[in-house]
Amino acid sequence: MDTAMISLFPPPGAFYDSAMGSVSDTLNPDRPAQFSDDAWVEVLSAMDRTYADLVSYQEQLERQNAELEEMQTFLTAILSSVSDVLIVTDRTGRIARTSQSLEQIAGPGRSVLGTPVADLFDEGHKDVVAAMLQTVQDRRRTSSFEANLMTAEGVEPLDISIAPRLDDRGRVDGFVLTGRPLGALRTAYAELRQSHDALKTAQAQLVRNEKLASLGRLLAGVAHELNNPISFVYANTHALERYAGKFEAYFARVQGGAGREELIQLRQDLRLDREVANLREATKGAREGAERVRDIVEDLRRLSADGSGEKVAFDLAETVRIAASWVLRGMKQPVALEMEPMEPAQVLGRPGHIQQVVMNLVQNAVDALEGQADGKVRLSVLRHGNRAELTVADNGPGVPADLGAAIFDPFFTTKPVGRGTGLGLSISHKITEEHGGTLTLCDPPDQGACFRLTLPLELGR
């Protein structure tokens, strides 16, 4: 209570004379009155206010004590549950609080409270810790470094972060050190790298599986394409074998000393003059058939390439022609294919991967036209600035508006079960991004679906 307020109370021995309306001193009756009734009422009011303030302060103090206890419990729970090393120091760098993980690492029974935090580390890092504390205090900014913590079994390398504790005036009032054992950190990095490698392997496997699925749909067309030139070569080789038999018979008679007349007659009987011309045609036909087989095998080799290795420059228009022609060879229904305009466009990338993208787009267009008598697929390659643009459009049912946003999601497909993996467009989109291009769903010129693939031209060519 305020001392000025206490002085307002009557001194010992005083009494209140109601008749005189004053306070008199029993020891000194001649002393004049000190207070009026209003002054006494004011004293009592001041006492009531003071008592009310004391009650309010008491209640506030109890609330703050409860909050402090709750915060203390919360802080204790944090310090006991964190797995990383946590150290709280005062402004001089002496340890005020630690987490239980520090005791587990440094060794049980080791008392560190009140000791300099630098003493926790080996001789080679004590000065480093002290210097970092000073740096954090000067800059008032978090800093990180590595240091060896002394343990019962030796040293434990830690990745340490030091943050300043600031008071209400913004001054450094202490430090908070957090440290993670580098062994666990490096193990986590190794596991992350292993997971990333596994993810890349799985992605490459998905690409190969999707490519094999695309090639599997083309087996019928491949068999037909190979059968024709091989049959042509086979027929011409039989003709060559027959011609060889006739010439062998003729030259056998020549070596046998047959006369001129006999040889002339034999030549006429064997029709050697006609067979010589036929021989040239059979040889030419066999060569053309073999070259056709070679070209087909080369196309297949390019289609089955994994697309790995260095990127090379290639003509997008030519790649589109080869990929589209193979899709149409394997289809089981008549579909009109229009490839105009097809401007030459040199792009940089992996032709095998881009061929797979084109095959997926064309195959999806052909599948969408199943059962449609007037099915048509239109391909065009144009150059726009420093980019090449491929458009694949069909006149099928198109893509519903509510499915456009999910069309490139993995495993999303509108085909019946067993007819599609739902990975074709997703993989195509990923391959396109890896080549620095874009693959989007565009507005068709009339009806149906339309996809647009853009790739950067090689050095702007």
DSSP letter, residue 141: S
Highest mean pLDDT among 49-58, 107-116, 273-282: 49-58
Is 165 in contact with 174 (CB distance < 8 Å)?
yes
pTM of the model: 0.42
Q: Which CATH class is domain 306-460?
A: alpha beta
Highest mean pLDDT among 173-187, 321-335, 368-382: 368-382
* DSSP-based three-state secondary structure for 391: strand
- The reported pLDDT for the residue numbered 100 is 78
- The reported pLDDT for the residue numbered 2 is 42
- The reported pLDDT for the residue numbered 5 is 42
- The reported pLDDT for the residue numbered 14 is 42
- The reported pLDDT for the residue numbered 11 is 46
Mean pLDDT of 220-230: 65
pLDDT digits (tens, 9 = 90+) for 238-275: 777 777 777 777 777 777 777 777 777 777 777 776 77
CATH number of 82-186: 3.30.450.20
- The reported pLDDT for the residue numbered 89 is 93
Both tokens of residue 303? 């289609």
pLDDT digits (tens, 9 = 90+) for 12-28: 444 444 434 444 444 44
Give 421 or 332, the one with higher predicted confidence.
332
- Distance separating alpha carbons of residues 258 and 256, to the nearest angstrom: 6
Nearest to 408 by CA among 434, 389, 428, 390: 428
Mean pLDDT of 56-75: 78
